[in-house]
Amino acid sequence: MEREGIYILGPKLMNEAFMAEIRWVIFDWGGVLVDDPGPPMARYCSEVLGVLESDYVEAVRRYAGDFRKGLIEEGTFWRQVCGFLGAAPPKDGSLWGTALAAVYRPKTEMFELVRKLRGSGFGTALLSNTEMPGVEYYRRQGYDLFDEVVFSCVERMKKPQREIYELTLERLGCAGGEAVFIDDHELCVEAAKAVGLNTIFFKSAGQVKEELGLFGVGTD
């Protein structure tokens, strides 16, 4: 559209004109690449500890923050949780790791998407709020899908802290506008937007592919 010698772009063309070229796609882990392990892990661990699942969930809500930031070890975490619950600490050397392994369910279509993106020349990264037993489980899978992996417990900060997004971009060597971040938690998505990242709020693999296309990222 033209008015008095000035070209006026519609919203879609405006976005395309000013959008930075996407170089990186950053994925959350639990809930995006694999089924959310939280609810089944809660059922698993509450049964092992012999407590109500609702009480267990409240205990984890109280004490998991420092665990996910790597500020306390798993043994300390279970002592805190079991103290709150009035339960005996687990005998399993890593109940968290055992529970994760028991409920771990990869989303095949999402893993295929990561492979296609890498094959098309895009950089791929993982940014996850994860405890050390989860990191150890991840490493045992031998995944070769990501150019960079950022785990909260290793960096001692977690989403939605601004610093962990900035650290990720620094590691990737790119600006926020050159990357797309995908997460299934709205708070984490909004925090990423505030840092300048392009974002997708995960609902399904098909929806992610469609929205990546809007950013000029082909997935076919």
Any idea which residue has 């031998």 for tokens? 142
Mean pLDDT on 3-31: 62
pLDDT tens string 37-65: 999 999 999 999 999 999 999 999 999 99
How far apart (Å, rounded) are the C-alpha atoms in residues 89 and 54? 18
Among 188, 121, 202, residue whose Cα is nearest residue 157 = 188
pLDDT over 70 at 3, yes or no = no
How many whole angstroms separate alpha carbon 18 and alpha carbon 169?
Answer: 20
C-alpha span between 107 and 151 (Å, rounded) = 20
For residue 72, is pLDDT > 90? yes
Domain boundaries, the chain: 2-36+106-214, 38-103
Q: Degrees (nearest 5) of the Cα angle 165, 154, 47?
A: 105
| Nearest C-alpha neighbor of 105 from the set 19, 154, 39, 18 | 39
Confidence of residue 96 (pLDDT cuts 50, 70, 90): very high
What is the per-residue pLDDT for 19?
60
pLDDT band at 81 (very low <50, low <70, confident <90, very high): very high
At 84, is the pLDDT very low, low, confident or very high (cuts 50, 70, 90)?
Answer: very high
Q: Is it the case that residue 14 has pLDDT exceeding 50? A: no
Average pLDDT taken over every residue of the chain: 91
pLDDT confidence bin for 92, thresholds 50/70/90: confident
pLDDT mean over 160-177: 97
Decide yes or no: CATH 3.40.50.1000 for domain 2-36+106-214. yes
**What pLDDT shows up at residue 93?**
85
pLDDT of 85 higher than 70: yes
